[in-house]
Structure 1
Amino acid sequence: MKEIRSYLGWKVDYLNPPGEPAFAGPDSVSWRVFKNPVALAIGGIAAVLLEFADARIRSGVWDHSVFKTDPIGRSKRTGVAAMVGVYGPQSAARRVIQGVTNMHAKVSGETPSGETYRALDVELLDWVAATASFGFLTAYDRFASPVSDADKTRFFQEGAVVARLYGSQNPILSLADFDAMLAKLSPRFEPHPINTEFLGIMSSGRAAPGVPKGLQSMIVHAAVSILPSAVRTRLELGPEYDLHAKGAATVRLMAKIAETIPDATSPAAHASERLGLPRSFLWISPDEQARLLKAAAMRASLQKA
């Protein structure tokens, strides 16, 4: 059965048109990482904390979006925007990204200290793209499955095309690039009640009504645990946010289960089918994946002949 997902008024059909590529391929590190909902939840919260550390982004989101009234819905929509850039047909991804950019063009203002900002400021766009990549990759590496140094670099490079579509002019291509951007911006970082309010909401049980509140709290603590230590210190996220051994083991178990049990209704599964692969493609062994990719490439070659 066809499933079409709606985002900001646009319909995103991950199953169609058949054969249309995404901006990342089935053999990419991005497809591997983004299939894991536990890693996405942890990485997304960490990314928001890194963004909110800068008053310009915090003010822009707080004053010009529904984040104050619907932080969970806003966070989910942001997750969908990230997902369509990885799994969506390129035509659909371009349409959604252009819509997001059009909205951002209307966002400008002043921080409480009087500093002006525009959502389309290149420095802010660069940082938002960097925090998302860092958050998702680090969460996956830490809790789902280790990622080699070479694949970490490949992951950042895969995301550069979509980051540029969102307006980033200097997308990070390695962890070293992230560290350099962090070093440049971190003197601006500051603690703020909005940060702890956000974490309180995400720990409250409202983020995922079907998931026990205790597990959601562990996800929040896991997100804080992957922040660079200097950032956590500057944001004054103290020991009350520590991820203890039992919580870490529970989060890893959840992430590893998500690595092994296919979600046939997910964008990852639908995108696989769109490209002539089984919906379970991302959950099978690397050797079987390679065999299926070779067979799919051969079929495509024969069709062109």
Structure 2
Amino acid sequence: MLDLAVLPLPAPVHDKLDSVLRGFLTESGPRFDFSSPSGEQALVGPDSVSWRIFKNQVALFIGGVAAVLLELGEPKVRDGVWHHTSFRTEPLKRLQRTGLAAMVTVYGAQSRAEAMIAGVVRAHDRITGVTSEGEPYHANDPALLDWVQATAGFGFMEAYHRYVRPLSQAEREALFREAAPAARLYGAVGAPASEAEWARMLEGMRDRLTPSPIVFEFLDIMQRVDALPRIANPMQVALVKAAVAILPPWVRTRLGIGEEYHLSRRERIAVGLAAKAADRLLLKSSPPVQACRRLGLPNDYLYRPAH
């Protein structure tokens, strides 16, 4: 019998959405098979808070945008991202690669996740430069890696908490613990291990975060890129505003993000409905469902009441 936590969809609708998802995950490169090797565990287990949160594509989009805004506020990360990646020229492919990397880190078999992360570390080792403010940077600088890891964790956690359902303090702390194995592999050995450590890190960045035209170029790209079907473009604009809304007010002020990115009450309701629906959307080709099959778990395992 169909679990009531799963959003029932007519077969043609499911197949269309499933096809869109497969395209998003494969257009930037070869298809990653989350269903193999059979029985191999991921870096974090299927009973984790992470497995339940990362299955929500709407929250991931919102949280990812919020994380990048925080990252672009740090001048060394900003120039490393903007001048050494394809974000400006091929934003959709860049989004696809970033989204796939997040899925592999959480749901991929451990051996394959470790191999992917090692490749990212090698690629980062070649990225060096000097910021527009005259500061030298290196992408594998542990302090920068810690900031990127921390902002991603905050973005995904806070987006889910704000727009899907409130997370308990125990769940929030679990997310920090569950992120630690991947953080160490990336070289983020000083990433926050608790919400209190994250709060201290963020406060310590108060004088470091810097406004830049790049922040607004990024926001413009994220509103225009075809991350969603064209008919859903108004929702995409609302999702970007929703990402801005979860940033602390002082961060928005520091980055110069004004009222033009204010999330209206109507938009907030629409975002909440979309995010809650996404939490019940089971697509057979999605990484979490494939990963459940790899471990011999039913397709709807993550859509049942928490274990």
TM-score (norm 2): 0.89
Structure 2 equivalent of residue 253 of structure 1 = 273
Check 1:148–1:244 CA distance in 2 against 1; reply closer, same or farther (3 A cut): same
Equivalent position SS for 2:129: strand
Structure number with the bigger relative contact order (C-alpha 8 A, sep ≥ 6) is 2
What is the CA–CA distance in structure 2 between the aligned matches of 1:31 and 1:270, rounded to whole Å? Answer: 12
What is the CA–CA distance in structure 2 between the aligned matches of 1:204 and 1:99, rounded to whole Å? Answer: 30
Structure 2 equivalent of residue 275 of structure 1 = 295
CA-CA distance at 1:59 after TM superposition: 0.5
CA-CA distance at 1:10 after TM superposition: 6.7
What is the CA–CA distance in structure 2 between the aligned matches of 1:166 and 1:9, rounded to whole Å? Answer: 21
Check 1:165–1:243 CA distance in 2 against 1; reply closer, same or farther (3 A cut): same
Equivalent position SS for 1:186: coil
Structure 1 equivalent of residue 129 of structure 2 = 109
- Identity percentage of aligned residues: 47
What is the CA–CA distance in structure 2 between the aligned matches of 1:212 and 1:205, rounded to whole Å? Answer: 12
Structure 1 equivalent of residue 18 of structure 2 = none
What is the CA–CA distance in structure 1 between the aligned matches of 2:300 and 2:54, rounded to whole Å? Answer: 14
Whether the aligned pair in 1 keeps the contact of 2:27 and 2:93 (CA below 8 Å) is no
Q: Choose 234-243 or 256-265, whichever is displaced more.
A: 256-265
Unaligned runs of 5+ in 1: 291-305
User: Alignment RMSD, CA only?
Assistant: 1.7
Structure 2 equivalent of residue 200 of structure 1 = 220
Unaligned runs of 5+ in 2: 1-21
CA-CA distance at 1:56 after TM superposition: 0.5
2:90 matches 1:40: no
Check 1:166–1:205 CA distance in 2 against 1; reply closer, same or farther (3 A cut): closer
Equivalent position SS for 1:243: coil
| Aligned residue pairs, count | 285
Q: In structure 2, give the amino acid aligned to 1:35.
A: K
Q: Choose 28-37 or 201-210, whichever is displaced more.
A: 201-210
**Equivalent of 1:136 in 156, 162, 184:** 156
What is the CA–CA distance in structure 1 between the aligned matches of 2:196 and 2:231, rounded to whole Å? Answer: 36
What is the CA–CA distance in structure 1 between the aligned matches of 2:79 and 2:225, rounded to whole Å? Answer: 25
2:106 matches 1:67: no
Query: Counterparts of 1:80-99 in structure 2 under 5 Å?
Result: 80-99=100-119
Equivalent position SS for 1:109: strand
Equivalent position SS for 2:137: strand
- Residues 72-94 of structure 1: CA deviation (Å, up to 9, x unaligned): 32122112111111000001101
Structure 2 equivalent of residue 186 of structure 1 = 206
Structure 2 equivalent of residue 173 of structure 1 = 193
- Residues 136-167 of structure 1: CA deviation (Å, up to 9, x unaligned): 01000100111100110001110011011011
What is the CA–CA distance in structure 2 between the aligned matches of 1:65 and 1:57, rounded to whole Å? Answer: 12
Structure 1 equivalent of residue 283 of structure 2 = 263
